[in-house]
Amino acid sequence: MRNLLSIADLTNDEIEHIFELADSAPKLGADNPATGQIMATLFYEPSTRTRLSFESAMHRLGGAVITCPDMKASSAAKGESLADTAKVVSSYADVLVVRHYWDGAVQAMAEHADVPVINAGDGSREHPTQTLCDLYTLRKEKGEIRGLTVVVCGDLKNGRTIHSLVFALARFGANVVTLAANGMELPQYVLERLEREYGYSLAPVASDDLTGVVTETDALYLTPKQPHQLALFTQLDAAMQTRLSTMVSGLRYDAFYMTRKQKERMKEGTTGGSYPTIGPKFLKEERFKDTVVMHPLPRVDELSPEVDKDRRGIYFKQAAYGVPVRMALLKFLFEQRDAKKTTAKKNANSYESPERLGPQCTNGNCVTVTEPRSTRRRFDLLSGGPSGALLLACSYCNHRFRVQFVGNVRSKHYCGYDIALADTVKDWFKKKELAIFDSIKEAEELGYEPYKSGPQRIIMDESEIQNALREMSQEILRDCQDPDRLLILGIRTKGSYLAQRVAAELEVDQKRRIEVGEIDIYGSADEIRRISSAYEDSPPISLKDREITLVDDVIYTGRTVKSALSIIFKAGRPQSVRLAVLIDRGHREVPVKPTYVGKHIPSSERERVRVKLREAERDEKDKVVIYSLISPAEARAERVG
């Protein structure tokens, strides 16, 4: 049975096939292919276009529609689970069209339904049928999608139409330029997936070219197979900046895709700030003379009325294509069902804990968190994250987070995950012996005991650490052109503590406040934020033209820094970014060079360097220790012996 939950559920060929069907929609209807079929529309969130165009499409195919006019008036209000609703409604209809405010909710329902389920928008995750309409519109207007450059604007963080669209554009080989409203950039998990699955790389461009007409924010250029490597330079040099700007100013912009601010998905009090708009200025620019303006609608005030009257404003046409495209999609899904083809791909990386408790998704709006009873804690296991981290990506919402503790189901031992365990863990995973825990408490509750490690050696004590931080602070000041622009950003969590200490040193020296913030490279919400709660109501930290010093405790592979840089460049164009680390372990997978180093400690993969800080460890003084990891196999041999 075929569902449509994500745009990734359709191949490019299938999408082309659906478009061909849509091209002959009047004929499709004449054959009444849906006679005797019933579609149920379950919308837990408001909708005009999506719902009505689905219902219209079904009627035009000769089928019938049942609906619940208001899900608040359904059994959901009495506490019925998504699983039960899906099961029950499956026996009344042949296809379900569902919209829900939780990320992954439609997938949860699909797992319990006995008929195909179509995602009509889930939380801020995806909206694949809108993307079909968007691609169809682009294809109609521009002939082909490959090679087009599409500028996506507005709320790229919460806009689900955007997430499905950028994946699809990447697959069809289009270039994507992002112009986000401040603080509403594409989420890092979306960018990482673009990189991992489609080989897209991202280049920050100080593109006055675009920002002049639309907004104050900077642009990012996402493009296939052109390694920009910019994210690897900690010092933005002028030549590189010029090269990128030239690259972008030579671009032909084929479409602007505008979106509304998704207020309903934002925390209260965070909806302020300027928002990009398209108006007369855009229309007058010669270089946009063939640039169409699209919008999934509803709009609020992002598009001025002048655009409606211009031939380039094609959003009403885009909405009208909703019917033929959805007719084609339904016809396609019915064909698939009748052909009884099962195309469900077996995912080799799929992980579910063999234990009763398992890791939990960190996205608070994920259906696995909001309604665990209708879901299973299922993930994709991804290796090779920053610092060689092992990552889990939630199968429902795609947010990813880092594995903290791993254990072996047979030996019932656990330990903190470390890059040196990569092969062992791969082996356990293959044998289905891998347990993953969020905390030591969880592991111990399940009866796991810790693996042992070798003896520890102190390589930096409290005063050495303090001296190193003081020295680094002085160097930071020496290199800084304007202390007013200085921003100290720590990489969460130990980097944040160190960043605050560096800022404190600087404040004593400068007798003024130094702005300090943190970057959460695994965050599912704001990735760059202020540390102190005293600033909760302040606007987001501005990175524009700042002199940033990024702070972390240890640098090894360099991938953590690479992720942090990509988050920084996504959020704004700083004047410079320098890197301060307490320990440089040598060995690099990506060419990042720290500007300031407390101590060089070349060490091997089997060794573990740990920075212990009083902010994090109870009853401990600051120190840096080194120890060898005893492989779980050795530990076992030792116990037996």
175 token code pair: 């270039």
| 49 scored as a contact of ligand NCD (CB under 6 A) | yes
Residue written as tokens 């999608």? 145
| 297 scored as a contact of ligand NCD (CB under 6 A) | yes
Q: How far is the CB of 295 from ligand NCD (least distance, A)?
A: 9
Nearer to ligand NCD, 121 or 495 (CB): 121
Q: How far is the CB of 181 from ligand NCD (least distance, A)?
A: 13
User: Does 298 sit behind a cis peptide bond, omega within 30 degrees of 0 on the bond before it?
Assistant: yes
Q: Which amino acid is at 390?
A: L
Q: How far is the CB of 296 from ligand NCD (least distance, A)?
A: 4
Contact 378, 350 (CB under 8 A): yes
300 token code pair: 């609020």
Give the C-alpha separation, 96 to 71, whole Å. Answer: 14
| 130 scored as a contact of ligand NCD (CB under 6 A) | yes
Mark residues 423-462: x for contact with ligand NCD by CB under 6 A, - for none.
Answer: ----------------------------------------
Query: By CB under 6 A, what part of segment 104-123 binds ligand NCD?
Result: 121
Nearer to ligand NCD, 49 or 452 (CB): 49
Nearer to ligand NCD, 43 or 429 (CB): 43
Residue written as tokens 């990128």? 244
Q: Among the candidate windows 6-14, 33-41, 293-301, 465-473, which touches ligand NCD by CB under 6 A?
A: 293-301
Give the C-alpha separation, 310 to 303, whole Å. Answer: 12
Mark residues 319-358: x for contact with ligand NCD by CB under 6 A, - for none.
Answer: ----------------------------------------
Q: Is 639 exposed, middle or buried (0-12, 13-18, 19+ CB in 10 A)?
A: exposed
Nearer to ligand NCD, 327 or 434 (CB): 327
Q: Among the candidate windows 33-41, 291-299, 337-345, 593-601, which touches ligand NCD by CB under 6 A?
A: 291-299
Closest-CA residue to 582 (of 613, 616, 547, 559): 613
Q: How far is the CB of 303 from ligand NCD (least distance, A)?
A: 13
Local structure of 33: helix, strand or coil:
coil
Give the C-alpha separation, 425 to 406, whole Å. Answer: 8
Q: Among the candidate windows 75-83, 144-152, 292-300, 467-475, which touches ligand NCD by CB under 6 A?
A: 292-300
The DSSP H or E segment spanning 321 is: none
Q: Backbone phi, then psi, for 189, in 5-degree steps?
A: -65, -30
Nearer to ligand NCD, 296 or 407 (CB): 296
Among 2, 228, 260, 608, interactor with ligand NCD by CB under 6 A: 260
Q: How far is the CB of 519 from ligand NCD (least distance, A)?
A: 29
Among 6, 41, 50, 137, interactor with ligand NCD by CB under 6 A: 50
Among 100, 157, 160, 326, interactor with ligand NCD by CB under 6 A: 160
Contact 1, 95 (CB under 8 A): no
Nearer to ligand NCD, 49 or 426 (CB): 49
Nearer to ligand NCD, 127 or 331 (CB): 127
Q: How far is the CB of 95 from ligand NCD (least distance, A)?
A: 18
Nearer to ligand NCD, 121 or 594 (CB): 121
Q: How far is the CB of 242 from ligand NCD (least distance, A)?
A: 37
Nearer to ligand NCD, 54 or 200 (CB): 54
Closest-CA residue to 469 (of 546, 552, 592): 552
Q: Which amino acid is at 230?
A: L
Give me the sign of the Cα torsion angle 535, 102, 182, 229. positive
Q: Is 435 exposed, middle or buried (0-12, 13-18, 19+ CB in 10 A)?
A: buried
Nearer to ligand NCD, 264 or 462 (CB): 264
| 223 bridge partner residues | 201
Nearer to ligand NCD, 57 or 581 (CB): 57
Q: How far is the CB of 153 from ligand NCD (least distance, A)?
A: 13
Neighbours of 614 (CB within 10 A): 13
Nearer to ligand NCD, 8 or 504 (CB): 8
Neighbours of 29 (CB within 10 A): 19
Query: By CB under 6 A, what part of segment 468-487 binds ligand NCD?
Result: none
Nearer to ligand NCD, 92 or 316 (CB): 316
∠ at Cα 182 (219, 235), nearest 5°? 55
Q: Is 309 exposed, middle or buried (0-12, 13-18, 19+ CB in 10 A)?
A: exposed
Q: Among the candidate windows 82-90, 294-302, 307-315, 461-469, which touches ligand NCD by CB under 6 A?
A: 294-302
The CA R_g of the chain, rounded to the nearest whole Å, is 26
Q: Backbone phi, then psi, for 313, in 5-degree steps?
A: -80, 105
Mark residues 218-257: x for contact with ligand NCD by CB under 6 A, - for none.
Answer: ----------------------------------------
Instruction: Tell me the site size for ligand NCD, rule CB under 6 A.
Output: 11
Give the C-alpha separation, 587 to 346, whole Å. Answer: 36
Pairing of strands 515-519, 486-491: parallel
Q: Among the candidate windows 65-73, 243-251, 295-303, 412-420, which touches ligand NCD by CB under 6 A?
A: 295-303
Closest chain position to ligand NCD (CB)? 296
Contact 520, 493 (CB under 8 A): no
Q: How far is the CB of 167 from ligand NCD (least distance, A)?
A: 15
Local structure of 149: helix, strand or coil:
strand
96 token code pair: 């379900």
Query: By CB under 6 A, what part of segment 616-635 binds ligand NCD?
Result: none
Q: Among the candidate windows 242-250, 290-298, 479-487, 540-548, which touches ligand NCD by CB under 6 A?
A: 290-298
Give the C-alpha separation, 468 to 485, whole Å. Answer: 23
Contact 241, 569 (CB under 8 A): no
Q: How far is the CB of 478 from ligand NCD (least distance, A)?
A: 49
DSSP class of 129:
H
Give the C-alpha separation, 421 to 407, whole Å. Answer: 11
Query: By CB under 6 A, what part of segment 516-575 binds ligand NCD?
Result: none
Nearer to ligand NCD, 160 or 612 (CB): 160
111 token code pair: 């797992």
Give the C-alpha separation, 58 to 128, whole Å. Answer: 18
Closest-CA residue to 563 (of 395, 430, 385, 443): 385
Q: Does residue 582 come out as left (phi exceeding 0), alpha (psi in the -120 to 50 range) or beta?
A: alpha
Nearer to ligand NCD, 100 or 529 (CB): 100
Q: How far is the CB of 632 from ligand NCD (least distance, A)?
A: 46
Q: Which positions touch ligand NCD (CB under 6 A)?
A: 49-50, 121, 127, 130, 160-161, 260, 296-298
